[in-house]
Structure 1
Amino acid sequence: MTIEAARTGLAGALASRSYTASELLGVMSARLLKDGQTVFAGVGIPLLAAILAQKTHAPGLTILFEGGVIGPFVEAGKLPPSTNEQRCTRRANMLVSITEVLLMLQRGYVDVGFMGGAQIDRYGNLNSSFIGDPANPKIRLPGTGGGNDIASLADMIVAMKHEKRRFVEKVDFITSPGFINGGRTRAEAGLPAGGMFRVVTDLGILGFDEENREMMVLALHPGVTAADIKANTGFELPVPADVPTTEAPAMEELAILRELDPEQLYTA
């Protein structure tokens, strides 16, 4: 079978799902979060996943916003457009300054950082700054915000679509560090804590081996094959012969996401 035929088959398999790729990202990401953790969540899928975790298996999860909101109150159908959205301060647990939130991160009180990116490489380095030559980029992206701080000091979960243009051999710019060049290079760069924990995509769940710190496949989503993963990755990505398959999103999980985002601003 050619790569093109494999992609056509994958597109058909994904289209037959009763949920969108973004809903799948939200559900699978939520399942990685644990009760009692403190998570630094960005808007969109990260926030949806964190709220879903709170409403299912992790009621004691604490959500932080970069803008200074601790424990934001998010009403169904009124998702904030940014982490500086002041409407989320109403009925929140606490409101502090951005500096105080980052101090919490630096002092080790944040368990998980949760974000996305335009590019990621085999060592989990993220690019959300620009695509192309730094002197003359093809595309300018939002940049770091607090992304570098979060990735430097906490365990990271990244949620993104699995495409060859995103999963690249080497990112055009390291906005948020993963394991740098693998091995001990992250610690040698002065970042002894944290690191990339999981990458959740619409094809599977990825982790990093303990020695070389290279990306590897931990599980495939229903209907996805090893060939699908390889066809959509821009570098060699090992897939174990006995790789497990994730459990498809439950109707309860999907119902919560759809109630939170009825207009599908983030889950389309």
Structure 2
Amino acid sequence: MTTETTPEAAPDPTVTRAEYCVIACAEAWRDNGEVLASPMGLIPALGARLAKRTFSPDLLLTDGEAMLVGLDGRPEGWLPYRRHLTMVTGGRRHVMMGASQIDRYGNQNISCIGDWQRPARQLLGVRGAPVNTLNNPVSYWIPRHSPRVFVERVDMISGVGYDHATGPYHHLPRVVTDLAVLDFATPDHRMRLASVHPGVSVADVRAATGFELAVEGEVPTTREPSAEELRLIREVVDPQGLRNREVRG
């Protein structure tokens, strides 16, 4: 049983955990082509902006309302709601959402904790999660990897996982957390540990997960950022260092 990883090269000690998370989120949009990147949250937004500046220049970025924006954040085009919905329902958008709960097949809950008829806690509500997950690729960003989030069974399905999904556009590329990167690249689409961030062991991730993860051989470490990527993160996309408030090493 694999419990630790042996990286191919020693990680750069100056790279923070938050910066590895930005890199891992950016990788979600690699080779996506001209699709609408819809990051929800700070770290995913930094990742999308980094991806567009480097290996995914064709990405479309939005201000979250009705405008397409450029690398400097200035409006470059109008994205009316009807056009946005066309992209959603045709697989031309890749969303990175959050999750209050997520299970081994990628079912996501952002609606309530406890029984739906009498919940112990009310959350955001289902919102657009079913349409997102059935009609375009959806990845997830979870800043605190814990058994409370990674559960055996979600209390309510908001975003649809592989064991409930239908349709040609359903795809869950990856889940990024403050500990690791996970995907569903297994024959039955169970969640798999794809990489651990430097300083994190496989045992750490297993202990923070409420179900058995698929682990195949020696798990690699999350890739190192290049010198140019680090410069862009630190000087261009997040010069204020807000990333380190969300993820602390």
Please give the TM-score of this superposition, normalised by the length of structure 2. 0.80
- 1:217 corresponds in structure 2 to 193
Distance in 1 (CA, whole Å) between partners of 2:53 and 2:141 is 20
Q: Which is further off, 138-147 or 153-162?
A: 138-147
Quick check: 2:28–2:173 contact (8 Å CA) kept in 1?
A: no
Q: Given the alignment, which residue of 25, 34, 41 partners 2:21?
A: 25
- 2:238 corresponds in structure 1 to 261
CA-CA distance at 1:196 after TM superposition:
1.3
Q: Which has the higher helix share?
A: 1
| Deviations 1:99-135 (CA, angstroms, capped at 9, x unpaired) | 320122213333x222121111101111111222323
Unaligned runs of 5+ in 1: 1-5, 7-15, 76-87
CA-CA distance at 1:225 after TM superposition:
1.7
Q: Does 1:115 align with 2:97?
A: yes
- 2:115 corresponds in structure 1 to 133
- 1:83 corresponds in structure 2 to none
Give the aligned CA root-mean-square deviation in angstroms: 2.6
| Deviations 1:210-253 (CA, angstroms, capped at 9, x unpaired) | 43111111222222222111100000112222222222344543
* DSSP 3-state at the match of 1:25: helix
Q: Given the alignment, which residue of 247, 251, 257 partners 2:223?
A: 247
Quick check: 2:137–2:172 contact (8 Å CA) kept in 1?
A: yes
- Judged with a 3 Å threshold, the aligned counterparts in structure 2 of structure 1 residues 18 and 263 are, in CA distance, closer, same or farther, namely same
* DSSP 3-state at the match of 1:196: coil
Q: Given the alignment, which residue of 152, 159, 162 partners 1:176?
A: 159
Q: Does 1:195 align with 2:191?
A: no
Q: Given the alignment, which residue of 184, 194, 197 partners 1:208?
A: 184
Q: Does 1:150 align with 2:132?
A: yes
Distance in 1 (CA, whole Å) between partners of 2:241 and 2:222 is 24
Quick check: 1:66–1:146 contact (8 Å CA) kept in 2?
A: no
Distance in 1 (CA, whole Å) between partners of 2:169 and 2:92 is 12
- 1:78 corresponds in structure 2 to none
* DSSP 3-state at the match of 1:186: coil
CA-CA distance at 1:166 after TM superposition:
0.7
Quick check: 1:27–1:254 contact (8 Å CA) kept in 2?
A: no
Q: Which structure is richer in relative contact order (CA contacts within 8 A, separation 6 or more)?
A: 2
Q: Given the alignment, which residue of 76, 95, 99 partners 2:78?
A: 95
Q: State the aligned residue count.
A: 231
Please give the TM-score of this superposition, normalised by the length of structure 1. 0.75
Quick check: 1:159–1:200 contact (8 Å CA) kept in 2?
A: yes
Among the aligned pairs, what percent are the same residue?
35
CA-CA distance at 1:262 after TM superposition:
4.1
| Deviations 1:111-165 (CA, angstroms, capped at 9, x unpaired) | x222121111101111111222323333322234333322111122212132111
